[in-house]
Amino acid sequence: MKTLPKIIVFCWRVGHDILPIYANISTIRKNFNKVYPWCGKEEETLIHALKDYPKAQDILTLGSLDNRLLERDYSYCIDWIEDIMRTLDIKVVVDFFTTLWNSWNNKNKFIFRGQDEDAKTVWERAKTLCHDFRIHNLMGYGVIVRDADGFMLGGSGGFKEAVMDIEWAKLMAFEESVKVVGELNISKAVFESDCASLVNRIKKKGLDFTILGHCMDKACMKLDNFILVEVKWANRSCNKVADLICNFALKSSCSWNFSMDYPKEIHDSVMFDAIN
């Protein structure tokens, strides 16, 4: 699961039950009042603060959380969280934790600043944050194909709304580059990537038994279609044109496929690389 760093830390604290709720504070401070300040009735446990308190329930209901996950009784918050993660799709889980984080922040605003926003306002803020973060996580790629003299033969660029680790993103770009080169009917090719771990995994294909390794092996099967092929690491500074294509695809939310008649947007960079 991927999300904002602050929310990741929040999730970790929820899972370990170390958020500064009154029940936890009372274990290290004698005679500390454990009553939840929002309701003034119940002891502030983690499950009460995040799930059982009416305002928290209103916020989660606006977020369309399954009623079964709201109405069921839990002694410990971690049991509730585990049920959430077993029941919901991973993207919905990310939205759930974002909503939970905003609900927690709203509670803190009430305690420390005397501010108490209505449930709809809190939910709208969480929804906006989820949307903005998804836009931020648009993943782009850029591929260029040159001949032995450095002249452009073709390329492609595109984007995908996804949350993935860097190696998975680089693998996607590698698969696209193999596809583009194959469509140009090139039989001898050198593939370059600025991701050293990707290059090392490819060179050790068949020995990596992770899911990523399996997908890498599957992508490498297409290399058998070439008469001569090599995959090697290249410094990031060598990929300026590819980066430009990637950034343009992200900015324009579009996909490109081009041959020697490359787009004018990358002309200056192409000429600079050819000269140097």
Domain boundary, last residue among 136, 163, 189: 136
Q: 105 and 220 share a domain?
A: no
CA distances from 2 to 27, 35, 94, 99, 133 (A): 33, 34, 7, 15, 10
Q: 93 and 146 share a domain?
A: no
Please give the residue range of the domain that contains residue 175. 138-275
- 67 CB-near residues (< 8 Å, 6+ apart): 61
The CA-CA-CA angle for residues 16, 20, 21, to 5°, reads: 95
Q: 95 and 192 share a domain?
A: no
Instruction: Report the alpha-carbon distance of residue 159 to residue 262 in Å, rounded.
Output: 18
What global pTM score does this model have? 0.49
Count of CB atoms situated within 10 Å of the CB of 100: 24
Domain boundary, last residue among 88, 113, 136: 136
| Residue 160 φ/ψ, nearest 5 degrees | -150, 135
Q: 62 and 175 share a domain?
A: no
CATH number at residue 249: 3.30.420.10
The total of structural domains in the chain comes to: 2
pLDDT, one tens digit for every residue, the chain (276 residues): 455 678 888 888 888 888 888 877 788 887 777 776 666 666 778 888 888 888 888 888 887 777 778 888 888 888 898 888 888 777 778 888 888 898 998 888 887 788 888 888 888 888 887 766 554 556 778 888 888 877 878 888 887 766 666 777 788 889 989 998 998 899 999 998 888 888 888 888 777 767 777 888 888 899 999 999 999 888 766 677 887 888 777 777 778 787 777 667 677 776 666 665
Q: 35 and 17 share a domain?
A: yes
209 touches 216 (CB < 8 A): no
Domain boundary, last residue among 84, 107, 136: 136
Q: 50 and 107 share a domain?
A: yes
Helices 211-220 and 166-183 sit at what angle, rounded to 10 degrees?
10
Q: 124 and 9 share a domain?
A: yes
Q: 259 and 154 share a domain?
A: yes
Q: 23 and 79 share a domain?
A: yes
Q: 177 and 124 share a domain?
A: no
3-state secondary structure of 145: strand
Letter string b/e over residues 74-95, b meaning 16 or more CB atoms within 10 A of that residue's CB: eeebeebbeebeeebeeeebbb
What is the residue whose two structure tokens read 């984007």?
159
Q: Quick one: which H or E segment has residue 37?
A: none
Q: 33 and 129 share a domain?
A: yes
